[in-house]
C-alpha cells in the first residue's frame, strides 16, 4: 500500500479536497493519494462523509481507518456502496458537523487532563460525550462540580491551541510529556506532534495525533456528567457538551 498524504495534519478545518484513487482493497476499502478524513486512532473515531466522482453516484464513507502499516489510510464505504475506479479523480466531502464536534471534544479532554494530575489509563471521544480514565487512588481527589467550573473557565479564557513537532529522540528525553498509559503517541515517522494549549504552553502540552480546534472558546460550555469507579484505582470522568 502507498502512503496517504494526511491533509488534516496541516489543516484540521479542511472540509473538502480533490484526490486520486490509488487502490481498492479486497474488502472494498478505498485508498487515496491524499485525504482530509481522520482515521480512527487514539480514542478519536474515524471520519465519515462522501467521495464524489464525475462518472458515478457519490460513494458514502461510513468510517476511516489505518491499514496495518499505519501509514496507509483506508476509507470504508457504507454497506452496498460502489467504490470508484482505481485511477479516478475524486472529490472528498467531510461530514464536517460530526468532525468539528470531535475536534471540540478532543480539545476539551486535553483540558481535563491538564486539571486532573494523575496518569491517564484510557479515553474515548464522541460527538456528544467524551471520557478519560485516570489512575486515581483517592476518589476524593476529584469533584464533579469543581472540575466543571474549572473546565468552563479554561474554555471561556479563549486560550490558543497550537501544534509543533519534535523528534522521537526528543520525546524519549522528555517522558513527562506522555500522560497516557494505554495509548502511546503516534511514532514511527521520526517525529511526533505536540499539541499546546495557552501562551507558552501554559495550560497543557501533550503529544497527540488527533484533530483540535484553534482556541478553547470554540469548545463551548461543557459539564462533567459522571465520575465512575472502574476497578480498584481507576476513575472514569465523563464530559459532555452542556
Architecture of domain 99-241: 2-Layer Sandwich (3.30)
Torsion angle (degrees, nearest 10) of CA 154, 95, 70, 121? 40
- Domain spanning 5-94: CATH 3.30.70.20: no
CB atoms within 10 A of CB 63: 16
The SS3 assignment for 156 reads helix
- How many angstroms separate the CA atoms of 48 and 96, rounded? 9
> For 23-37, b where at least 16 C-beta lie within 10 A, e where not — what string?
bbeeeebbbbeebbb
User: What is the full per-residue pLDDT of the chain (242 aa) written as tens digits?
Assistant: 568 999 999 999 999 999 999 999 999 999 999 999 999 998 999 999 999 998 888 999 999 999 988 889 999 999 999 999 999 999 999 999 999 999 999 999 999 999 999 999 999 999 999 999 999 988 788 999 999 999 999 999 999 999 988 776 776 667 666 666 455 555 555 678 889 999 998 999 988 889 999 999 999 999 999 999 988 789 999 999 99
Domain boundaries, the chain: 5-94, 99-241
Amino acid at each position: 500500500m502507498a502512503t496517504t498524504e494526511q491533509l488534516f495534519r496541516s489543516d484540521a478545518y479542511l472540509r473538502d479536497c480533490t484526490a486520486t484513487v490509488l487502490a481498492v482493497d479486497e474488502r472494498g476499502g478505498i485508498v487515496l493519494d491524499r485525504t482530509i478524513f481522520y482515521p480512527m486512532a487514539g480514542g478519536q473515531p474515524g471520519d465519515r462523509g462522501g467521495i464524489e466522482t464525475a462518472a458515478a453516484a457519490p460513494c458514502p464513507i461510513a468510517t476511516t481507518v489505518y491499514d496495518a502499516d499505519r501509514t496507509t489510510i483506508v476509507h470504508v464505504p457504507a454497506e452496498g456502496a460502489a467504490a470508484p475506479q482505481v485511477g479516478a479523480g475524486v472529490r472528498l466531502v467531510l461530514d464536517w458537523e460530526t468532525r468539528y464536534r470531535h475536534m471540540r471534544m478532543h480539545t476539551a479532554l486535553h483540558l481535563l487532563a491538564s486539571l486532573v494530575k494523575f496518569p491517564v489509563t484510557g479515553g474515548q471521544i464522541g460527538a456528544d460525550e467524551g471520557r478519560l480514565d485516570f489512575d486515581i487512588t483517592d476518589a476524593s481527589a476529584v469533584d464533579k462540580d469543581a472540575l466543571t467550573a474549572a473546565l468552563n473557565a479554561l474554555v471561556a479564557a479563549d486560550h490558543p491551541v497550537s501544534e509543533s513537532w519534535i523528534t522521537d529522540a526528543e520525546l524519549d528525553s522528555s517522558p513527562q510529556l506522555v500522560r497516557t498509559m494505554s495509548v502511546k503517541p503516534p511514532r514511527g515517522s521520526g517525529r511526533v506532534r505536540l499539541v499546546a494549549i495557552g501562551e507558552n504552553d501554559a495550560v497543557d502540552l501533550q503529544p497527540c495525533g488527533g484533530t483540535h480546534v484553534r482556541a478553547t472558546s470554540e469548545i463551548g460550555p461543557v459539564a462533567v456528567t459522571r465520575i465512575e469507579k472502574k476497578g480498584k484505582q481507576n476513575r472514569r470522568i465523563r464530559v459532555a457538551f452542556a
